[in-house]
Amino acid sequence: MAAGRGVRDEREVRVERRVREEKAVAGMSEGLSSQGPEAASPEGVGGFDLEAIRSEFPILSRKTYLNSCSLGALSRRSEAYLDDFRERWHDMGAAAWYEHWLGRIEELRGRVASFWGSEARELALLPSTSVALSVVAESVEAGRRDKVVCTELDFPTLVYQWAVKRDIELVVLESPDGIRVDPEQFAAAVDERTLFVATSHVFFTTGNVQDLNALADIAHGVGAWCLIDGYQGAGQVPLDLSSAGVDFYTAGPLKWLLGGPGLAYLYVRGEVIQALEPRITSWFATEGQFDFDVRGFRYRSDARRFEMGTPALPTVHVALGGQEIVDEVGIETIVERNRMLTGHLVRRCREEGFELLTAEPERRSAIVMVRHSDPARAVRHLAGRGIIVDHRPGFVRISPHFYNTVDELEGCVEALASI
């Protein structure tokens, strides 16, 4: 039972939750004159069985879980895949590789590819975003280009990638408001020396969503590559890589895709794959992987040429369960619910007088930063009440996902206000 509910009847809580949910959606539709992103339509959440979805995730009945941008909840579905993995290991040992596990890897590749609008051959599986970024950096020919443009709002691992390269001039764009960086700033910073525009889809602290098409156009306009860290994007905001125009997009199952740690996904635009020959590699990258011929290295013709060895098989299984649920719920429903929940959270925080660091509604995602003088203490206080959120310097970070409820957000805001 979630925190603060005491011993109230479970059914009563459910009914109350539904009523609140409906009111929140209706209130938003009425409250806005135009159909802005906060105006989730009631039909959009119809057909979505919240209780059934919530019962997939044990943590939701134990805690008020509002930290999906750090780690998505673990589902029963993922556990079943993990059980299957363990059983085959007990039963078959290494034979399970050929008969099952290589197939699971391709199943995951296919699912993720169709989820984000790419072809399976455009997707490589890697151990982490950092490794994915390294292999991209070691795949392009720099020629006379020695400049990389990032922003101060990007996740550090993206920026560090270039900071350690002595021959690269790293340009870190400053945010005018601590929330966003404008496309015009990128346009002014790039030139014929630029090798990469390397930035985030969604900024990890402010939740601001960047315009991928605009970034790709700016990079390509000067002949540079467009590399996007999409870890905070994939699974919570609309994404179609077939039309985004970017060359590289990295993400992983850990957060919004509900698949745990140990794996990253790297998209490489189909047209450019064959022109890229990574200078770091592995036996997974060669056409003759199972020839075991030390003289026979030939880059694969697809994105597997970027792979760096055996992927974390337990994570492949957990990620399959998470991806299945995301696919079944549907990204449209997820986006719509997350907008509704985030809109509600922002409104309630403002009503309580909290200062927020959050993007304009049309660029907002489900990451809400609440300014706090002692965020670590606030997070501990909430944790004491069974409410899991996170903190970053100066802020409490709250990140709901489609499986959360308005009721839970109310409990979180009340608990924050009670400090």
Ligand X SMILES: Cc1ncc(COP(=O)(O)O)c(C=O)c1O
Q: Give residues in contact with ligand X (CB under 6 A).
A: 128-130, 155, 157, 200, 204, 229, 231-232, 252, 264
- Run of H or E including 162: helix 156-163
DSSP state, residue 254 = S
User: Nearest distance from residue 233's CB to ligand X, in Å?
Assistant: 8
User: Nearest distance from residue 360's CB to ligand X, in Å?
Assistant: 20
List, edge to edge, every strand of the sheet that includes 169-173: 123-126, 264-268, 248-251, 225-229, 194-200, 147-151, 169-173
Structure tokens at 272: 């450019």
- Dist. CA 230–CA 327, nearest whole Å: 18
CB nearer to ligand X: pick between 232 and 315: 232
CB nearer to ligand X: pick between 186 and 354: 186
Backbone phi, then psi, for 272, in 5-degree steps?
Answer: -105, -10
CB nearer to ligand X: pick between 24 and 149: 149
State CA 143 to chain mean position distance: 33
C-alpha distances in Å from residue 283, one per residue of 94, 131, 309: 18, 16, 6
User: Nearest distance from residue 231's CB to ligand X, in Å?
Assistant: 4
User: Nearest distance from residue 294's CB to ligand X, in Å?
Assistant: 30
CB nearer to ligand X: pick between 78 and 129: 129
CB nearer to ligand X: pick between 223 and 261: 261
CB nearer to ligand X: pick between 260 and 375: 260
3 state SS of 126? strand
Backbone phi, then psi, for 287, in 5-degree steps?
Answer: -55, -40
User: Nearest distance from residue 126's CB to ligand X, in Å?
Assistant: 9
The total number of residues written for the chain in this structure: 419
User: Nearest distance from residue 235's CB to ligand X, in Å?
Assistant: 12
Largest CA distance in the chain: 69
